[in-house]
Structure 1
Amino acid sequence: MDNEHADRGELDALRAAFPAEHCLPPLGWDGVRAFERAHDIVLPEPYRTLVAEICDGCTEGPPDIDGLIPLAALPADWGPDDTQRVLAEPFPLTEAWVWEDDPRPYEEIEPLIDAVSNHGSVVLGTDGCGMYWHLVVTGPQRGRLWNISDVGAAPFGAVFGTTAATDGFAGWVGLWSTTRRPWYDVVV
């Protein structure tokens, strides 16, 4: 997983996975750089090049519900309050956490739950039932995808044992493109 340089093979696979007739126009490099400056981040590759050159959202493709949402958007079911989102703050997790099973009082873990949902990631879309796909843009997990729901958060990728697919955005899209199944249906 190379977060700094776009791989031509990965970009070709992304172009194939997101059919142009279902895509929103790309932001262009000026638009991507403006977003990055506004949030004090640099998007990881190959997502960065996808948004700049291929598309800024697509109704066909992952995630399964409504597809890939635009860079600056949130899913329709996200809720009214997006003021807590701070992309420049590091994403706080490095391993899965099921807060529903956490024995600590909710008042103690609530700030961390809020940080998991709101810090250091862009939301790519939803698989429904309150399950959101996040691409981490700051912190040790930069470039990795996480599925965050109302009960916990789990990382995506073979390195975590959650799937046989490679880590990162290209691996996530590649798995969807070849299986047309959610990542959690794949037997490792």
Structure 2
Amino acid sequence: MGGMDADHADPADLEALRAAFDVDSCEPPLGWEAVRAYEAERGIVLPEPYRTFVAEVCDGSASGPPDYGLLPLVEMPEDWGDDRPQRVLAKPFPLTVPWLWEGDEGDPRQPEEIDEAKSQVFDHGSIVLGTDGCGMYWHLIVTGPHRGHIWNISGEGAAPFGAEFGFTTGSPGFAGWVKHWAAHEPWFDAV
């Protein structure tokens, strides 16, 4: 997985994360007790370095990334909608490769099966880090084979962030995603 370690926080990554965020626009960190309570309640362990970041550095920031700011751990984007299914973080995120469902007439599944699969992409095994607007959400995968990776999920499809997936030159994972943003690189700079 490109050297990404979702179980241990690299001190250099934490330093880069501290440097990337404007301290004045950060929400106070949650602390370890609150992070562990959140994890226990949902049956997950947040991937590093995000876990240490929200416990010790910053629980959300108005300055981003993404464009509309990094959401606090327990919040959802304002445009997410109240009529959506319950999010289940302990159920594995179902994808390991991009899926462009808009315009995919070749999918052999029934429309109900496709809708259920899309619902799982949006609501299983991830936390929502924030939005770039227009229904483009950034998710941190917390359960499943892609744990620790960042995915961009929108009405058109879902794609992982990281150079090995072909859409960007950025490194995978939360630290790579933030570093790419802090360098003022466009998200999809390899297309």
Q: Report the TM-score range of the alignment, normalised by the length of the smaller protein.
A: over 0.9
Question: Which residue of the partner structure matches residue 132 of structure 2?
Answer: 127
The two structures, once aligned, show a CA RMSD in angstroms of 1.2
* Structure-2 separation of matches of 1:148 and 1:161: 16
Task: State the TM-score, normalizing by the size of structure 1.
Answer: 0.95
Deviates more, 1:130-139 or 1:94-103: 94-103
- State yes or no: 1:34 paired with 2:18: no
The aligned amino acid for 1:11 is: L
* Structure-2 separation of matches of 1:83 and 1:106: 18
- State yes or no: 1:13 paired with 2:13: no
Deviations 1:36-84 (A, max 9, x none): 001000000000000000011000120012x100101100000013542
Tell whether the 8 Å contact from 2:27 to 2:58 is kept in structure 1 after alignment.
yes
Task: State the TM-score, normalizing by the size of structure 2.
Answer: 0.93
For the residue of structure 2 that corresponds to 1:154, the secondary structure is: strand
Q: Report the CA distance between 1:157 and its aligned residue.
A: 0.3
- State yes or no: 1:100 paired with 2:102: yes
Question: Which residue of the partner structure matches residue 79 of structure 2?
Answer: 77
Give the total of aligned pairs.
Answer: 185
Map of 1:37-116 to 2, 5 A cutoff? 37-65=40-68, 67-103=69-105, 104=107, 105-116=110-121
Tell whether the 8 Å contact from 1:96 to 1:155 is kept in structure 2 after alignment.
yes
Identity of aligned residues (%): 62
Unaligned runs of 5+ in 1: none
Higher helix share: 1
For the residue of structure 1 that corresponds to 2:28, the secondary structure is: coil
Tell whether the 8 Å contact from 2:166 to 2:190 is kept in structure 1 after alignment.
no
